[in-house]
Protein backbone atom coordinates (compact mmCIF):
# COMPACT_ATOMS: atom_id res chain seq x y z
CA UNK A 1 0.00 0.00 0.00
CA UNK A 2 1.39 3.38 -0.83
CA UNK A 3 2.14 5.93 1.82
CA UNK A 4 -0.77 8.15 2.77
CA UNK A 5 -3.42 5.92 1.10
CA UNK A 6 -6.66 5.53 3.02
CA UNK A 7 -7.93 2.10 3.94
CA UNK A 8 -11.61 1.60 3.31
CA UNK A 9 -13.11 -0.50 6.03
CA UNK A 10 -16.38 -2.25 5.29
CA UNK A 11 -18.90 -2.87 8.03
CA UNK A 12 -18.83 -6.43 9.35
CA UNK A 13 -22.01 -7.40 7.46
CA UNK A 14 -20.46 -6.16 4.19
CA UNK A 15 -17.30 -8.20 4.72
CA UNK A 16 -19.38 -11.27 5.49
CA UNK A 17 -21.43 -10.75 2.33
CA UNK A 18 -18.28 -10.44 0.19
CA UNK A 19 -16.77 -13.52 1.82
CA UNK A 20 -19.96 -15.55 1.25
CA UNK A 21 -20.16 -14.34 -2.35
CA UNK A 22 -16.60 -15.48 -2.94
CA UNK A 23 -17.28 -18.84 -1.32
CA UNK A 24 -20.42 -19.37 -3.38
CA UNK A 25 -18.55 -18.36 -6.54
CA UNK A 26 -15.78 -20.85 -5.77
CA UNK A 27 -18.34 -23.59 -5.15
CA UNK A 28 -20.08 -22.85 -8.45
CA UNK A 29 -16.81 -22.91 -10.37
CA UNK A 30 -15.94 -26.26 -8.76
CA UNK A 31 -19.36 -27.73 -9.53
CA UNK A 32 -19.25 -26.59 -13.15
CA UNK A 33 -15.60 -27.51 -13.75
CA UNK A 34 -15.65 -31.02 -12.25
CA UNK A 35 -18.07 -32.57 -14.77
CA UNK A 36 -16.24 -30.87 -17.64
CA UNK A 37 -12.93 -32.34 -16.51
CA UNK A 38 -14.50 -35.76 -16.08
CA UNK A 39 -15.89 -35.61 -19.61
CA UNK A 40 -12.46 -34.72 -20.95
CA UNK A 41 -11.05 -37.79 -19.23
CA UNK A 42 -8.82 -35.83 -16.86
CA UNK A 43 -10.48 -37.30 -13.80
CA UNK A 44 -11.08 -40.75 -15.24
CA UNK A 45 -10.31 -43.45 -12.76
CA UNK A 46 -8.54 -46.61 -13.71
CA UNK A 47 -6.79 -47.69 -16.84
CA UNK A 48 -7.94 -46.71 -20.31
CA UNK A 49 -9.44 -49.61 -22.31
CA UNK A 50 -6.55 -49.91 -24.78
CA UNK A 51 -3.92 -50.02 -22.03
CA UNK A 52 -6.00 -52.53 -20.07
CA UNK A 53 -6.29 -54.80 -23.11
CA UNK A 54 -2.55 -54.53 -23.85
CA UNK A 55 -1.74 -55.45 -20.27
CA UNK A 56 -4.12 -58.41 -20.34
CA UNK A 57 -2.84 -59.52 -23.74
CA UNK A 58 0.69 -59.60 -22.39
CA UNK A 59 0.04 -61.03 -18.93
CA UNK A 60 -2.46 -63.67 -20.07
CA UNK A 61 -0.74 -64.37 -23.39
CA UNK A 62 -4.00 -63.83 -25.25
CA UNK A 63 -4.37 -64.79 -28.87
CA UNK A 64 -5.58 -62.21 -31.39
CA UNK A 65 -8.90 -64.06 -31.56
CA UNK A 66 -9.30 -63.81 -27.78
CA UNK A 67 -8.49 -60.08 -27.86
CA UNK A 68 -11.06 -59.53 -30.61
CA UNK A 69 -13.68 -61.46 -28.62
CA UNK A 70 -12.90 -59.69 -25.33
CA UNK A 71 -12.96 -56.13 -26.70
CA UNK A 72 -16.77 -55.91 -27.10
CA UNK A 73 -17.31 -57.55 -23.69
CA UNK A 74 -15.16 -54.96 -21.92
CA UNK A 75 -16.73 -52.13 -23.93
CA UNK A 76 -20.28 -53.22 -23.07
CA UNK A 77 -19.51 -53.65 -19.39
CA UNK A 78 -17.63 -50.34 -19.23
CA UNK A 79 -20.72 -48.64 -20.66
CA UNK A 80 -23.00 -50.33 -18.12
CA UNK A 81 -20.63 -49.35 -15.30
CA UNK A 82 -20.56 -45.75 -16.51
CA UNK A 83 -24.36 -45.66 -16.59
CA UNK A 84 -24.50 -46.94 -13.02
CA UNK A 85 -22.10 -44.27 -11.78
CA UNK A 86 -23.99 -41.56 -13.63
CA UNK A 87 -27.27 -42.66 -12.10
CA UNK A 88 -27.57 -40.32 -9.13
CA UNK A 89 -30.74 -41.94 -7.84
CA UNK A 90 -29.18 -45.30 -6.99
CA UNK A 91 -28.51 -45.91 -3.35
CA UNK A 92 -24.91 -46.75 -2.48
CA UNK A 93 -25.65 -50.32 -1.34
CA UNK A 94 -27.86 -51.01 -4.34
CA UNK A 95 -25.09 -49.72 -6.59
CA UNK A 96 -22.57 -52.05 -4.92
CA UNK A 97 -24.88 -55.01 -5.50
CA UNK A 98 -25.38 -54.02 -9.13
CA UNK A 99 -21.64 -53.59 -9.63
CA UNK A 100 -20.98 -57.03 -8.14
CA UNK A 101 -23.64 -58.54 -10.40
CA UNK A 102 -22.02 -56.81 -13.39
CA UNK A 103 -18.59 -58.15 -12.38
CA UNK A 104 -19.95 -61.70 -12.10
CA UNK A 105 -21.68 -61.37 -15.48
CA UNK A 106 -18.46 -60.12 -17.05
CA UNK A 107 -16.50 -62.98 -15.45
CA UNK A 108 -18.90 -65.46 -17.03
CA UNK A 109 -18.55 -63.80 -20.44
CA UNK A 110 -14.77 -63.68 -20.18
CA UNK A 111 -14.64 -67.26 -18.88
CA UNK A 112 -16.15 -68.47 -22.15
CA UNK A 113 -13.13 -67.08 -24.03
CA UNK A 114 -10.15 -67.57 -21.74
CA UNK A 115 -8.56 -70.88 -20.88
CA UNK A 116 -8.89 -72.07 -17.29
CA UNK A 117 -5.31 -70.99 -16.52
CA UNK A 118 -5.82 -67.56 -18.14
CA UNK A 119 -9.02 -67.05 -16.16
CA UNK A 120 -7.26 -67.97 -12.92
CA UNK A 121 -4.48 -65.45 -13.65
CA UNK A 122 -7.03 -62.79 -14.66
CA UNK A 123 -8.98 -63.18 -11.39
CA UNK A 124 -5.77 -63.05 -9.33
CA UNK A 125 -4.62 -59.88 -11.11
CA UNK A 126 -8.01 -58.23 -10.64
CA UNK A 127 -8.02 -59.02 -6.92
CA UNK A 128 -4.49 -57.63 -6.53
CA UNK A 129 -5.60 -54.45 -8.30
CA UNK A 130 -8.68 -54.15 -6.06
CA UNK A 131 -6.50 -54.51 -2.97
CA UNK A 132 -4.10 -51.82 -4.24
CA UNK A 133 -7.04 -49.54 -5.01
CA UNK A 134 -8.49 -50.03 -1.54
CA UNK A 135 -5.14 -49.25 0.08
CA UNK A 136 -4.52 -46.19 -2.07
CA UNK A 137 -8.13 -45.03 -2.10
CA UNK A 138 -8.81 -45.22 1.62
CA UNK A 139 -5.43 -44.23 2.99
CA UNK A 140 -4.62 -41.80 0.22
CA UNK A 141 -0.94 -41.47 -0.63
CA UNK A 142 0.47 -43.40 2.27
CA UNK A 143 -1.90 -42.14 4.94
CA UNK A 144 -3.59 -44.55 7.31
CA UNK A 145 -7.04 -45.82 6.40
CA UNK A 146 -9.92 -44.19 8.28
CA UNK A 147 -10.98 -46.00 11.44
CA UNK A 148 -14.12 -47.97 10.90
CA UNK A 149 -16.57 -48.48 13.64
Q: Which of 95, 94, 73, 92 is nearest to 84 (CA)?
A: 95
Residue 92 has a pLDDT of 74
Q: Domain containing 56: what range? A: 49-138
Residues 133, 75 share a domain: yes
CA dihedral 14, 15, 20, 23 (to 10 degrees): 150
* DSSP assigned state of 146: P
pLDDT in tens, 53-99: 898 889 989 899 998 998 898 888 888 888 877 776 657 778 888 88
Residue 115 has a pLDDT of 92
Q: Give the Cα separation of 111 and 102 in Å (integer).
A: 14
Tell me if 122 is assigned to some domain: yes
Residues 78, 31 share a domain: no
pTM: 0.44
Residues 114, 54 share a domain: yes
Residues 58, 28 share a domain: no
Check: CB of residue 66 under 8 Å from CB of residue 114: yes
Residue 7 has a pLDDT of 61
Burial 73-108 (b: 16+ CB within 10 A, else e): bbeebeeebeeeeeeeeeeeeeeeebeeeeeeebee
Number of domains in the chain: 2
Tell me if 132 is assigned to some domain: yes
Residues 78, 60 share a domain: yes
Residues 119, 67 share a domain: yes
Residues 134, 80 share a domain: yes
* DSSP assigned state of 38: H
Amino acid sequence: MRKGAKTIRLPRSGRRRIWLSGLIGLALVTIVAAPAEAQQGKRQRGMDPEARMEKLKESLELTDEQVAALDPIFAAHDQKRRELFESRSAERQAMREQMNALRLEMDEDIGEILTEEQMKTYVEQREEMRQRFRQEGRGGRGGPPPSEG
